[in-house]
Structure 1
Amino acid sequence: MGQVGNSDIEWVDVVDENNDVIGQSTRDQMRAENLRHRATYIVVHDGMGKILVQRRTQSKDFYPGLLDATAGGVVQQGENMLDSARREAEEELGIAGVPFAEHGVFYYEEPVCRVWGGLFSCVTHGPFALQESEVAQVIWLTPAEITARCDEFTPDSLKALSLWLTRNNQVSYIAGDRVKPVASEPEATREMPAESIPETPVETPAAEMSSENE
């Protein structure tokens, strides 16, 4: 996934509190120094209330082994977020040729991560081709099932899913906290205006699937 110089080195844009690019660093340096960067978060759903959840491989440099409520990843140097989202979806899951809905950007910060996230969604039913180095397994879960297992998930992906649910006028209790209306959030964490997608029911039964890498 490298883009500049040595093909084994991945370079990313470093951004400030306003999401403006202020420099570049290697991915390793970004993680080591907790530099602000950009990443994509893609809610992959079946249009009937199920979310595609990934289990991260143990070799990941960030939250190895945990579940992800979204697909996506770090935006590379000079890459726009939509292109990054499409690239990540195809690399991780083999998703290609489907429309992506854009839902703006949001800021997320914790002691080990400072990121401007681009929020996207797409509807697909598979089949999926998992990237062996990134994704150990995928399963279909409802938002309620994700909430019940929230301690198993990466916190930034839960934030992204919560924001997506509010854009669909669905009350979210992801991670145990009711999501506040966007207008009441601090300016730094407010998601930016973008088109929403049609509301989908949450609890419609659907077949659960699980796919393991060889």
Structure 2
Amino acid sequence: MTDSPDSPSDSPSDSPSPSASPASSAPAATPAPLTGLDADEVLDVVDERDEVVGRAPRGRVYAERLRHRCTFVLPRTADGRYFVHRRTARKLVFPRHYDMFVGGVVGAGETYDRAALREAEEELGMTGLPAPEPLFSFLYRGEQGEWWSSVYRVVCPDEVHPQPAEVEWHAFLTEDELLARIPEWPWVPDGLAAWERLRARG
């Protein structure tokens, strides 16, 4: 499968497994430690009710597994295909895993809505997206820690330019194609948890 969203090879029968795609055949790189601007970004620390109880640099939040806030935005084209991508090896959390959401941490003092739009435009490499539609929130708990997760969806064009530092592969898949890949590929666990909750809501 190529990186072109218009590629006809995006069908379930032609899509390769992660080990068969060109990017995945390279030796897995060790994720870089969180340093520099990423580590210095200040985040709100929140409690189990999602109320702010303090602030800390992102590096400390990750190292000490402090509870914080994240957004999950589900991009889908007007004809119903989902933007699916594989994270780069440099990602500190869940490197080289697949995800059907874009998003990220919410900065200190930033609203979920603002963070959702900012992260979606940054990761898709575009401007002018409509405001993502808020759907629901949940407290994700996993091996890496826990974070309040606000889930959105947005309609996006099928020509995007994802950040090379964030995304090493992408394609637009139909829902059936996406569902077929879930048991086959390694998925970001918090994104998968958000997807399962979304489908359970109907």
Say yes or no: TM over 0.5. yes
Q: CA deviation at 1:31?
A: 1.3
Q: Secondary structure at the match of 2:128?
A: coil
8 Å Cα contact 2:121/2:129 also seen in 1: no
- 1:27-38 equivalences under 5 Å are 27-38=58-69
Q: Secondary structure at the match of 1:152?
A: coil
Q: Secondary structure at the match of 1:159?
A: helix
Of all paired residues, the percent bearing the same amino acid is 36
> What count of residue pairs does the alignment treat as equivalent?
163
1:109 maps to amino acid: R
8 Å Cα contact 1:40/1:74 also seen in 2: yes
For structure 2, the residue ranges without an aligned partner over 5 or more in a row are 1-35
Q: Secondary structure at the match of 1:146?
A: helix
- 1:114-133 equivalences under 5 Å are 114-133=146-165
Q: Is 2:72 the partner of 1:49? A: no
8 Å Cα contact 2:117/2:129 also seen in 1: no
Q: CA deviation at 1:17?
A: 0.5
Residue range with higher mean Cα deviation, 133-142 or 13-22: 133-142
8 Å Cα contact 2:71/2:105 also seen in 1: yes
For structure 1, the residue ranges without an aligned partner over 5 or more in a row are 1-5, 170-214
Q: Secondary structure at the match of 1:28?
A: helix
TM-score, reference length from structure 2: 0.74
* Alignment partners' CA distance in 2, 1:127 and 1:154: 24
Match of 2:95 in 1: 64
CA RMSD of aligned residues (A): 1.8
Q: Is 2:187 the partner of 1:156? A: no
Residue range with higher mean Cα deviation, 76-85 or 92-101: 92-101
* Alignment partners' CA distance in 2, 1:138 and 1:86: 19
Q: Give a deviation string over 1:33-83, Cα, whole Å, max 9, x none.
A: 111110000000124332101211110110011111100001111110110
* Alignment partners' CA distance in 1, 2:108 and 2:60: 14
* Alignment partners' CA distance in 2, 1:143 and 1:36: 32
Match of 1:80 in 2: 111
